[in-house]
Structures are given as C-alpha cells and as structure tokens.
Chains A and B, each alone.
Chain A
Amino acid sequence: MTRTDEELVAHATAGDHDSFNQLVARWERPIYALAYRTLGREEDARDVVQEAFLRAYRGLRGFKGQAKFSSWLYRITLNLCRDSMRRERRAPIVQVPEGTDPVDLADAQASPSESVEDLVARRELSHAVARAMAELPEEQRTAILLKEYHGLTFQEIADTLGCPLSTVKTRLYQGLSVLRRRLERRQAEAASLRRATWESSS
C-alpha cells in the first residue's frame, strides 16, 4: 500500500531513511520541473533541487505538518531559485533546445505516428512558451507554474507564496493574458516567416 506524504514524513522524522528516500523519489521530478522552469538551465535546476532536498532532510524535524509536505518543499525550492537568480544577478534564461538534427529529432519523437513536422512544431512551441514565460514578472510566472504544471489550487498557491487569494487570481489572469498576446504574436510571426520562405522558394 502506498503511504501518504504525512506518514512518510512521520517515519523519516523518527530516523527511517527509506521513508525519506521514498519522499525524494515521489517529489524529485516535480521539484526539478519547477526549478528548471523557473531558472531555465539544467545545471542550476539540479543544484537547487539537491539543496532543496538537503534543506528538507535537515529541517524535517522542525516541520510540524502545519502545511502539506509538498507545499513546504515548493516554498523551499522557490526561495532557493530566487536566491540563485539574485546571486547570478540575472533573469531566467531560456536554454536553446536541441537542434534540428534528424537523429536527435527521431529520438525525441513522442510516438512513431508523430511526424517530423509535428515534432518540430512542438519543439518550437515549447521554446516559444519558455521565452514568453521568462519575460513575465516573477510573481506572475511563479503563480502560473504552480497552477499549470503542479495543479495547486488557488488557496494552496496563496499559502505557498504567502499572499492573499485575490492576489493569486490577479497574477494568474494578468500573466495568462500577457502570455496569450505574446504567443499569438510569435505564432503570427512564425506564419509570415514560413509564407515568405515558401514564396521565395517557389
């Protein structure tokens, strides 16, 4: 039977390493995704995730279960991301995805039925989203990350970020609206570029 986070935390607090290992296995991927999407670089994300789990490990006995374990972990991670960006004095960066090498593309195909054109389009959209998100103010970006990729409720986001519920809604609305405009503009630019390429080649 799968044990809940709270049960695992209780066992780990009593010194059971295996319970902590299970918590890491359960949360490592989402925490890495949050750090990666916040910082934009794999090495930085990895470092932050290691530090986040170390902090959780060392601070587990001080964690009294006043919040969900995952909310606590998200908060630690976001604080570390903020520190990292402040230390590096930079905004999030966008790592350029792998190129359009046919072998690389073939490896990345989600399923054999996905055409190379679809795959290229998916990659382009992924990159466009990453760039548009990197340009958002930090508060809006974080709210969108927690909502869209981690499925937190408005209230959970408010608890994690320590702000009122109405602020969360405002950040989400404003962030999504800006993203919408930017993505629409990029898609229009990409379409006109494709048209120009097609016209010059014909």
Chain B
Amino acid sequence: MCDERERLIGYVYDECDGDDRTQIDRHLESCATCREEIAGLQETRQDLLAWEVPDHGSVWRPFVPARLMPWWREVPAWAMATAAGVMFAIGIGGGATAQAVMASRSAGVTTPTPAPVSVAQSVDQTTRETATARAELAALEARMVSLNAVLNRHLSTGDGVTAVRVADTDSRLTEQVWNVSGDINEMWRKLGNLEAQQRQVNFQVAQLALLAGAGVPGR
C-alpha cells in the first residue's frame, strides 16, 4: 500500500469501493507514514477552501420577450398620476440643487493639462470604437424588438394567444430572434472589452498628467 499511494486518493475523497476502504483502513492501523500522509492531504484540502473568488456582475444580457400589451396599460391610472407627481417634485428639487452647486463651483474651475499627442490619439480611437460598438448594440436591440413584435403578432393571430409561446409555429422567426439575441451578447462582450480598454487608457492619461505636473520629462 505504501508503494501505491495513489490508491489513497480514492480514500481521501471517499470514492473507493467497500473492499478497498476496508483494506486501506486495515493498513492504516499499522502504518504511521500513510496515516500521516492522509492527514496531510486532508489538511491541504481544508486549506484550499480558503481561496476566495471575488463577486462579479452578470455576464449575460438576457432576452426577455416583449409583452403584447404595453406595460403602462396594466398600471392603474391613479398610480401613474402619483408617480408622475413624485417625478415632477424630484425634478424640481434636483434642478434647484444642481444650479446651486454649479454656481458655487464655477469660480474654482481649472483647465486640465493636455495629454501627449500619441496618448490623445489612443484615447480618440478607443472612444470612437466604443461609440461604434454602442451604436451597433443599439441597432441590434432595435432589430430584436421589431423581430420580436413580428413573432408576437404571428403567434397571437387567430386564437387570441397573448403570451409568447416559442417552440411552436414559425421556426424561422424563432431562429432569427435566437440568433440576434446571440449577436447582442457578442456585441455586449465587445463593448465590455472596449470599455475596459478605455478605462486603462484613461488611467494612463491620468498618470501621464501627474508626471507632467511633477516635471518628469516624457516622450
């Protein structure tokens, strides 16, 4: 048994059959080396539990089929009126506060140090690419909405069905909606990467501005 330590791994993970377990148990009674080996492996397994994974937001942009009836038609009129009143009051209050803050800050406005040309070009390019990706994402989402509307109309004609029942009738439309939802997620991923790149460039610009401010010569 001491020569075939890998057999112990089944014992450690409790994935060996009854006979094997009995044999190993019997061996452990007389072998301090293997006993220590097993205790060490168990302790290591315990340590492994300490490895944490940071929290993260969702990576998927779920597609939720649009309702046939606009949502606001399902909300009672009195609730809409109350919400409108509250939003109006918040708008007035927010506007007044912003005006006061802006007025008090306007005296202390400073001009930012211009970044070197190559970095500025890099910033421009990333900003342009991000804007293009955003526009493409918006176009895809608009396409998705219109496709989904067609699909809804198709599914609800004749029998008055109001909920989307995919998997039925028009597989071609269903397929298109499915593909566009994939494209949206593809574009969302691209946008996420570009935004990360932009953050990186902005960070570099800020660092360069700091160095320039401290009188460190750059290229």
Contacts and interface: CB of A to CB of B under 8 A. Distances in A.
Contacts of B64: 17-18, 21
A129 B48 contact: yes
Contact of B10 (A14, A169, A177): A169
B138 to A, nearest CB: 19
Contacts, number: 121
Nearest to A108: B52
B51 A17 contact: no
Contact of A125 (B5, B47, B53): B47
B88 interface: no
Nearest to A183: B47
Contacts of A133: 51
A184 B97 CA distance: 59
Contact of A173 (B9, B166, B193): B9
A104 to B, nearest CB: 12
A85 to B, nearest CB: 17
B51 to A, nearest CB: 4
Contacts of B10: 154, 169
B44 A176 contact: yes
Interface residues on chain A, size class? 35 or more
Interface in B40-69: 40-41, 43-45, 47-54, 56, 58-60, 62-65
A147 B44 CA distance: 13
Contact of B185 (A45, A53, A126): A53
Interface string A126-169: 10111001000000000010011100011000000000001001
B48 A17 contact: no
Given A122-B50, A125-B50, A32 B196 contact: no
B166 A24 contact: no
A58 B192 contact: no
B50 A28 contact: no
A57 B50 contact: no
Contacts of B51: 37, 126, 129-130, 133, 149
B189 interface: yes
A46 B47 contact: no
Query: A-side binding surface: helix, strand, loop or mixed?
Result: helix
B182 A58 contact: yes
Given A36-B54, A54-B189, A21 B47 contact: no
B208 interface: no
B75 interface: no
B62 A36 contact: no
A194 interface: no
A49 B5 CA distance: 36
A154 B10 CA distance: 9
A149 B47 CA distance: 12
Interface stretch (B22-30, B103-111, B128-136, B173-181): B173-181
A15 B174 contact: yes
A100 B152 CA distance: 55
A24 B174 contact: no
Contacts of A49: 59
Contacts of B56: 32, 42, 45-46
A33 interface: yes
B166 A16 contact: yes
A148 B182 contact: no
Contacts of A128: 47
Given A16-B166, A173-B9, A32 B41 contact: no
A128 to B, nearest CB: 8
A87 B189 CA distance: 18
A57 B182 contact: yes
The 4 closest A-B pairs by CB, nearest first: A14-B167, A15-B174, A125-B50, A21-B62
